[in-house]
Structure 1
């Protein structure tokens, strides 16, 4: 379910919030800025346990990013791309690639991370080759907040749709991979608090982002779902008969998920078929469920259908949404 690839793609947060935060900085004292920027950072690395990253408690001193529109390093120098291969028995050839794009400069625990999940007919390389990195660089410069981009490879050796989950028969374990080894590889000695970690995705990845965040609310604070669907659509039986624990619309009643912030993007002409119905209307349906529970949700309906061109047009609003959440970190 991905864009130019077949199938597999309330409370409004105004982008003005970013402008207001930026404006407030103009009157901030130099002492305050120095205090925010030089706050103590934890250097303890994450521990892996049962395929998940057991991260140390976030330090209260980890500061929120301070927006500096037009004044961050990525305005002058592009982000740096790296593809690492992590061991994973469920991946073709036993290794699973991970694309990491970091802004210029040193990594630190107060630099947010956006984890991105591709669609069913694409890969991390698809995202790289469609200029996604440089487009997000421009949004970082405009908003004044830099962040790391991390996109793992989500296919499996048999070629079936993974739904970014752990297969019930043990063939692959994508959820465990994304929430464990991927986090450890990206963050290393600078683990982030959940408040500075977001997950997003396109089509099947949009479903995966919502499902993984709701199933692991201690890891993420924000979700951006481009052309996602919010009930299980599992044509290859990844989850077997027990699908309810993987259905985002059935995972909203736990207290732990109430602070998650959602942006849902659905093209006006997106009628990509699912096993039942289509993607059309999924954003509004899920937004209604979130709104009923008092959760933060923003919906966007850009011109276009189920394709990257449609979704890329929403990058300014998506980055403003993320920056507003990251900048509100205590």
Structure 2
């Protein structure tokens, strides 16, 4: 298996960016397309953190060797590299179009440079904490691209949760007025409700530690999905908001994505 740095240019950010790409054993020998998983970091993180702190390469090697995850391409990108974290969103105040960077620059370049499956059934997104929000937001806002999303200890916010806990200047810069239309476009509960009646709605998986500061937010999101009848899988484990937890439970998220890929075969 190979992990390589992959530089590319983002027109949305007008900047040179870098991601890391995991290529499975046999990629160089075989002429076929592979499913793709995008693996997102959290706040204060970078494109290198899943490799340096999360043991992602070792986990992928082990699962693919054991057959619990099919051979696939795994992309570990930056969130755009602005401030302490971009939430993979286009910011209301114009600071940066970090969602456009991801959708129109990163995904397009990966599909151009590597042999990828380009339908939703062959593309998924997974992340931790802020990256969990990013995974659900990107999938629910772009179901034509991502067929499944997985979150570990995700900041699975609704507008109500932001108003209660996170009404500070940087959040306002991201989403504008808390009860305005722009904020509503990134409300994960509203997005799930909006996608509910669509046949191509993303498959959702999330887990969280019972000692995690975001546990209540995850439990509330599970309750919302149950109340509207959106099929999903949610799991709880002992643990806190730490790399030990995310390293241990990344296989649970990847196992769900494998089940999703299998259902699309």
Q: How does the TM-score come out when normalised to structure 1?
A: 0.68
Over the aligned positions, Cα root-mean-square deviation in angstroms equals 2.3
Query: Could you say which residue in structure 2 is the equivalent of 1:15?
Result: none
- Contact 1:89–1:172 (8 Å) recurs in 2: no
Point out where structure 1 has 5 or more consecutive residues left out of the alignment.
1-78, 272-278
Query: Could you say which residue in structure 1 is the equivalent of 2:106?
Result: 182
Q: Which has the larger radius of gyration?
A: 1
Query: Could you say which residue in structure 1 is the equivalent of 2:90?
Result: 166
Q: How does the TM-score come out when normalised to structure 2?
A: 0.83
CA distance in 2, matches of 1:197, 1:108: 18
Query: Could you say which residue in structure 1 is the equivalent of 2:79?
Result: 154
Considering fraction of residues, name the structure with more helix.
2
CA distance in 2, matches of 1:221, 1:108: 24
Query: Could you say which residue in structure 2 is the equivalent of 1:145?
Result: 70
CA distance in 1, matches of 2:249, 2:199: 25
1:261 aligns with one of 171, 188, 203: 203
Q: SS of the counterpart of 1:259?
A: coil
- Contact 1:258–1:295 (8 Å) recurs in 2: no
Q: SS of the counterpart of 1:101?
A: strand
- Contact 1:229–1:282 (8 Å) recurs in 2: yes
Please give the residue correspondences for 1:29-40 in structure 2 after superposition, counting only pairs within 5 Å.
none
1:230 shift after superposition: 2.1
- Contact 1:194–1:219 (8 Å) recurs in 2: yes
1:327 has 2:262 as partner: yes
Query: Could you say which residue in structure 1 is the equivalent of 2:133?
Result: 207
Indicate how the Cα distance of structure 1 residues 259 and 306 shifts in structure 2: closer, same or farther if over 3 A, else same: same
Indicate how the Cα distance of structure 1 residues 109 and 253 shifts in structure 2: closer, same or farther if over 3 A, else same: farther
CA distance in 1, matches of 2:75, 2:241: 22
Q: How many correspondences in the alignment?
A: 243
- Contact 1:110–1:196 (8 Å) recurs in 2: no
- Contact 1:217–1:257 (8 Å) recurs in 2: no
Indicate how the Cα distance of structure 1 residues 180 and 89 shifts in structure 2: closer, same or farther if over 3 A, else same: closer
Query: Could you say which residue in structure 2 is the equivalent of 1:62?
Result: none
Please give the residue correspondences for 1:12-31 in structure 2 after superposition, counting only pairs within 5 Å.
none
1:94 shift after superposition: 2.4
Q: SS of the counterpart of 2:175?
A: coil
CA distance in 1, matches of 2:26, 2:223: 41
Query: Could you say which residue in structure 1 is the equivalent of 2:144?
Result: 218
